[in-house]
A and B are shown apart, each in its own frame.
Chain A
């Protein structure tokens, strides 16, 4: 499953925070959304995850497995058919089919439920979400949580509470919670913000590892060059709610445009006026 974002605009009062944003991410691909603080990166993630609704445009989930796609309800015709000519995969507006489209999101400050243990946090979607409730036994839950914790390199911490963990460990636990339902779309909001370089490297490695493991479509919001370099395949750069660069990670890091050049060199000189920004 992938994502096509078409002409998204989002307004807060009179201020256009996202202005006609378009991009696409394929299955097994990681897109980095970069830009200075207040450029609309996190808002973009919130719109994709459904925490905010856009004022204009739409977000399409591609290659959604639906046994009974109704063409007339779809924005695009079905992509592929089986031998009988029936639809197997189709594109659907993401917010119209949230029941079938599992989107995971990790937050800048982990957002773990601090009144629950690590085990309860990771098992939370499986125990509380309608479609999974009572589906798994206690033993199955323990096994699934242990597997996910192993995937993020944290074993045997099931009984700890989030405040007992370091920032890096909390991030990894939040990754484990996000992927417990094997989502096909994973959104990371500043996954390495506030971490030391070594912990950042560990997190970046897990982003790549999880993408390969789950064959997921990933979007990473970041302004850390190391994360861009190690964890992303392509980049869009936002400034003042608009896309000012779209290309591969290599092109971005080479600084081929005035915007990317200013960003990569962390310079005040360039087309982006950060000091006088009203954000």
Chain B
């Protein structure tokens, strides 16, 4: 393809547009696959048709794999927030409100989102690469020839594990974060544990806890579905396995951020 003697295909503009075109195609294909897999998973969920053995196995894996890193990340976030906030509040004579601030920050936002980010890296990436490897080595094709639905056997249990276990991880991580925040507040601003606890109860609303659990459940299901869908639709070889895993992580991050905004807009606006 030439114009005024210039090979258009060799120009940077053409290459940039082609790259953009490919990215848009990949986005649409991924989005389409995700929608298709969501519909197929929903059918099984609505029929209450579960492979409990697989769900238990995947749930155990989801919880065990993600808990240490989730606790670490949420714990560190709680420590940092307490280190920076407690002395300032104490200076303003508002040290007694530290528990309330910690509860609002942890329960409403930090525990679910930070645990979500940890789980994307720890569990989501592992789901995506596992299913992608199975796909490129014909294991998923073999399952289809054996007339076992890979969506029911592979995606559904992981999705359910995400929906069930993510709230558990979030609740444990939030509790751990609040305990650490209490000790850090005592250490950095001399806020007594009793004052912290009293104030914490004032900021801990049952509604917030339910919203946090619902949000965590949605995050867990979304991470599992995106990761499995990206892995399941992989074709090619080792390079594509890596690309699918990266895509699953990027998409999960984006989805979590969007869900977080939706929850905030619905429940706190």
Q: Which residues of A contact B (CB under 8 A)?
A: 46, 49-51, 98, 103-105, 107-109, 111-114, 124-125, 128-130, 174, 177
Partner of B141, one of A111, A124, A174, A177: A111
Closest chain-B Cβ to A10's Cβ sits at a distance in Å of: 16
| Known A107-B138, A114-B139: A51·B147 in contact at CB below 8 Å | no
Q: Which residues of B contact A (CB under 8 A)?
A: 134, 137-139, 141-148, 153
Task: Decide if B146 touches A129 in the complex (CB within 8 Å).
Answer: yes
A124: chain B residues at CB < 8 Å are 146, 148
Task: Decide if B141 touches A107 in the complex (CB within 8 Å).
Answer: yes
Task: Decide if B139 touches A103 in the complex (CB within 8 Å).
Answer: no
In this complex, what residue of B is CB-closest to A52?
B141
**Cα–Cα distance between A2 and B143 once the two chains are bound (Å):** 23
In this complex, what residue of B is CB-closest to A115?
B130
At the interface, is chain A mostly helix, strand, loop or mixed?
loop
Closest chain-B Cβ to A34's Cβ sits at a distance in Å of: 21
Task: Decide if B148 touches A105 in the complex (CB within 8 Å).
Answer: no
**Cα–Cα distance between A104 and B143 once the two chains are bound (Å):** 11
B143: chain A residues at CB < 8 Å are 113
Task: Decide if A49 touches B145 in the complex (CB within 8 Å).
Answer: yes
Task: Decide if A111 touches B147 in the complex (CB within 8 Å).
Answer: no
Task: Decide if A105 touches B147 in the complex (CB within 8 Å).
Answer: no
B144: chain A residues at CB < 8 Å are 50-51
Task: Decide if A105 touches B137 in the complex (CB within 8 Å).
Answer: no
Partner of A129, one of B134, B142, B147: B147
In this complex, what residue of A is CB-closest to B130?
A115
B134: chain A residues at CB < 8 Å are 113
A107: chain B residues at CB < 8 Å are 138, 141-142
A128: chain B residues at CB < 8 Å are 146, 148, 153
Task: Decide if A50 touches B139 in the complex (CB within 8 Å).
Answer: no
In this complex, what residue of B is CB-closest to A174?
B142
A51: chain B residues at CB < 8 Å are 141, 144-145
In this complex, what residue of A is CB-closest to B142?
A111
Closest chain-A Cβ to B114's Cβ sits at a distance in Å of: 30
**Cα–Cα distance between A51 and B143 once the two chains are bound (Å):** 10
| Known A107-B138, A109-B137, A111-B137: A50·B146 in contact at CB below 8 Å | no
In this complex, what residue of A is CB-closest to B146?
A125
In this complex, what residue of A is CB-closest to B148?
A128
**Cα–Cα distance between A191 and B126 once the two chains are bound (Å):** 31
Q: 21 interchain pairs (CB within 8 A)?
A: A49-B145, A50-B144, A50-B145, A51-B141, A103-B145, A105-B142, A105-B145, A107-B138, A107-B141, A111-B137, A111-B142, A113-B134, A113-B139, A114-B139, A124-B146, A125-B147, A125-B148, A128-B148, A128-B153, A129-B148, A130-B147
